[in-house]
Chains A and B, each alone.
Chain A
Amino acid sequence: MMSIGKAVVRTDGRAKVTGQAIYVDDLRPEGCLYGATVRSERAHARILGIDLDPSFDWTDITVVTAEDIPGENVVALMTDDQPVLVDGECRHVMEAVALVAAPTRERALQAAHRVQVRYEELPVLLDPAQAENSPIHIFGTDNVFKRLVIDRGTSTGMGVVHKATYHTSLAEQLYIEPQGMLAIPEKDGSLTIIGSLQCPYYIHKALKRVLGHSRFHVVQAVTGGGFGGKEEFPSMVAAHATLLAIKSGRPVKMIYRRDEDLRASTKRHPAIIQITSECTPEGELLSWDARIIVDGGAYNTLTPVVLSRLVLHVTGPYRIPKVHLEGVAVATHTPPNGAYRGFGAPQAQWAVERHMDRIARELGIDPLELRRKNLLKDGDLTATGGVLHDTAAFLVLEEALEAARAPLLQRAPPPGAGIAHWKRGRGLALAFHGCGFTGNGESWLKGKAALELVGSDLRILTGSTDIGQGTDTIFPQIVASELGIPVERVSMAPHDTAQVPDSGPTVASRTTMVVGSVVQSCAKKLRLALQAETGLASNNFAELLAARNSDAVLKVEHVYEPDASIRWNDADYSGDAYPTYGWSANIVDLEVDPDTGEIRYLRLVTATDVGRAIHPVLVSGQIEGGALQALGWANLEEVVRDQHGCMRNDRLTNYIIPTSLDAPEMVTRLIEVPYAAGPFGAKGVGELPLDAPAAAAAAALEQALGLVLDDLPMTPERVLLAMERGHAA
């Protein structure tokens, strides 16, 4: 009956393969209107007027502007700087100025085009490197969203110094289902909000402020991918749909078109990372100094937390006695950047792994040996002085090396290529990833879950959503295994704020590890409750159930209890920044055409420490999908912006993500070094796969062409340019 470690069929699988799963755009309530957004075309301007074209027929159109907001004009998140609708001054292109709703999608789009916005242009700041000293103020007086310094010693002045700067680029989450939300006014005056989202309670919190009341509930529809892109951004979409629904008195559905989604939604923060390291001539690291600038865009969103995770990962999985880390996140007049799977860590570990390769190259040491010399192990200290436990850096490394010994699967050459002059290379990169929220985040958040016994079946109530990663399958496995019953007897309540408690957001690789452990505690509590009710000391669930002489619903709730062994001081950023870490080793084989700069991935071997694989197929699916996002970021994906900061390549024809032909064959090995406080030992794994593959690809490219690239993305144009510039090692 122990379903942990078994690949049970995912609970939503049948609905998804038969076309019966209902996503938000599949809903069409009676009388539904379609919403569209009027957006600013200037990066920074005063709005002089919003005019309705008198030659257009407005009779069946609902128009909403900032004046129609019943509560506060704010998207409540970390700070209150971002408005729901521009009021007076726009601070980036594609900022929402007004909303329209119409009986058809076409009418809505036509109407949106006929809303004319008059602007008075204001000075624009687009360059993050200029932000701090700019006379143009976007946020505060210095445009700084957050500054973070971790100082645990500086250079010893005795080692070999290596110094370089690394750049990472914007990237789009590119969930295949665009942003979408449906707001329904109910007969009793309340509202139902249904949508594509990761965090129902984020939206709940935000809408409460916009509406000035809480007579509404938020329901997650089946969600077609999120990857962070549906963490905070849907609060805005939900507010828009709701405002239109209130004004029109009708259900309003707002589904973004792909081009709008690409231009308007949040992206991965670009970062500039300068590292100065010092090591012995043999390559043992002595000190590490990193200076980081992150571009947050025009509003704060979650930028301070992204910066903090970036800084906490910018020493990589290495033991460094003295570290000095300084990060600053600044504002520019560009669309806000936000959560994207990895949340700062991929940027950090791109720079770290490129820098490790630099040290190896300049010292003439094998990059693998350099890493072995410095890898973290149990008992070592992190950059914040936390003592490590459950480490698996060496285990994943050796596992990946072993797996990579197998010969490459023969793949057909790409059309018109595959000719002898394509050069092959292999590269290695490692990563670690802090699981769950940074610092005391979980203690503040107090994630809750509940469990109900109904008849002889169980129902889990949690705000943690399934966005494809399999929460709705894994949580029942945890409960069923704890109680020793078949997994089929455990179901999930809808992710509806009217029914389920706030378990915290579905982010930060925390759902399985943190909320999963809360769910496991619920199962334990339920057993205790049954023992108390029946007076039976048995641990056998069937016996307890049989001894019950009531069929009343029995409900237990549990609130997250912080792992007592974890210590964190937020004031000076010292201690255990994360309860535990996941570890990963990545080996990329690729070939590259020296004439065109085109990269073709052949194989990706990953070995990943997951603590405990609750569902091996789901967890390896997470790793493979995440890794391909990282490989796409490495060589294909590039956001091109115009002079206003607006994304120009706003289509899937020109923002290119990998296809099945671009993807390598993947060999996915799982390592299990359990985390005692995780459910059955599980660690968080959602983001770790994003951290290292890009750097492994860069290392492979270096081996193939002798070309050193320190900046992302490594598109063919950039590879060729680098070759022309003779950046040969």
Chain B
Amino acid sequence: MRLECRVNNQAVSVETAPMTRLIDLLREDLRLTGTKEGCGEGECGACTVLIDTKPACSCLVPAVQVQDAHVVTVEGLAKGEQLAAVQQAFLEFGGAQCGICTPGFLVMAQALLNEHPHPTREQVREALAGNLCRCTGYQKIVDAVENALAGAEHARQ
């Protein structure tokens, strides 16, 4: 099938099988390798992307489902050289260690922050409960997300 969609604000048109996994479309066809595969069955969240602002595990989504949709991956979070607040916060608070889970966490956190710019710690923990990290113990990830926008607003003042 011919798939037409937008990825990170760019129009995309590719020939693909309808049941191609979205993660393979992104990583293999579009060479957007920021999206990671940790399990291939919806359990680790490393492959999380936004589909029309909603987070989804791209290892479970067939390509046909993003026809005409807007997909945002970790590569689409920064505005050019300007990191998104949540990316900046991950750097400051130490939210990334080995980094393999980081793209999924950032995309998921961005989805949360779009809805709740100032989440409580418990909201952050709930929102990120589908993403696994084996390096950090989550403490610094929760710190980063909780303070992401507080930090950004502080910086603008």
Contact = CB atoms under 8 A, between A and B. Distances in A.
B33 A175 contact: no
Contact of A177 (B36, B77, B122): B36
Contacts of B99: 12, 15-17, 21, 222, 224, 468
A468 B139 contact: no
B87 A17 contact: yes
A501 B34 CA distance: 31
A469 B36 contact: no
Interface string A466-491: 01111000000000000000000000
Contacts, number: 171
B134 A660 contact: no
Given A16-B102, A224-B100, A468-B97, A661 B135 contact: no
Contacts of A12: 99
Contacts of A652: 38-39, 41, 43-44, 132
A122 interface: no
Chain A: interface residue count, which band?
35 or more
Contacts of A22: 33
B133 A18 contact: no
A318 interface: no
A231 to B, nearest CB: 15
Contacts of A412: 122
A226 B135 CA distance: 9
Interface string A275-302: 0000000000000000000000000000
Given A18-B87, A621-B140, A663-B139, A176 B38 contact: yes
B97 A470 contact: yes
Nearest to B126: A661
A328 interface: no
B91 to A, nearest CB: 5
B134 A176 contact: yes
Nearest to A12: B99
Nearest to A653: B43
Given A21-B99, A222-B99, A617-B93, A628 B38 contact: no
B40 interface: yes
Nearest to B73: A19
Interface in B64-104: 73-75, 77-78, 83, 87, 90-94, 96-103
Interface in A247-269: 257-258
Contact of B39 (A258, A628, A629): A258
B83 A469 contact: no
Given A176-B38, A665-B139, A660 B131 contact: yes
Given A19-B73, A25-B37, A258-B40, A176 B98 contact: yes
B124 interface: yes
A18 B101 contact: no
Given A17-B102, A174-B134, A258 B38 contact: yes
A156 B122 CA distance: 54
A624 interface: yes
Contacts of A384: none
Nearest to B104: A176
Interface in A622-665: 624-629, 651-653, 657-661, 663, 665
Contacts of A411: 122
A14 B101 CA distance: 14
A17 B75 CA distance: 9
Interface string A1-43: 0000001011011111111111101101000000000000000
Interface in B8-48: 27-28, 32-41, 43-44, 46
A617 B94 contact: yes
A469 B132 contact: no
Nearest to B84: A17
A628 B137 contact: yes
> Which among B121, B136, B138 has the greatest number of chain A C-beta atoms within 10 A?
B138
Contacts of A626: 137
B150 to A, nearest CB: 18
Nearest to A261: B39
A624 B140 contact: yes
A47 interface: no
Given A175-B134, A660-B124, A660-B131, A624 B139 contact: yes
B22 to A, nearest CB: 15
B154 to A, nearest CB: 17
A715 interface: no
B7 interface: no
A467 B33 contact: no
A227 interface: yes
Contacts of B35: 19
A225 interface: yes
23 contacts: A7-B94, A18-B83, A20-B34, A21-B99, A23-B100, A175-B134, A176-B36, A176-B132, A176-B134, A411-B122, A468-B135, A470-B97, A626-B137, A627-B137, A652-B43, A659-B128, A659-B131, A660-B129, A660-B131, A660-B138, A660-B141, A663-B138, A663-B139
- Give 5 nearest A-B pairs by CB, closest first: A19-B34, A224-B100, A468-B98, A16-B99, A624-B137
Given A18-B83, A19-B75, 12 more contacts: A14-B83, A18-B78, A224-B36, A224-B101, A225-B97, A258-B40, A469-B97, A470-B97, A624-B137, A625-B97, A625-B133, A659-B132
Interface of A: 7, 9-10, 12-23, 25-26, 28, 173-178, 222-227, 257-258, 409, 411-412, 467-470, 617-618, 620-621, 624-629, 651-653, 657-661, 663, 665-666, 668
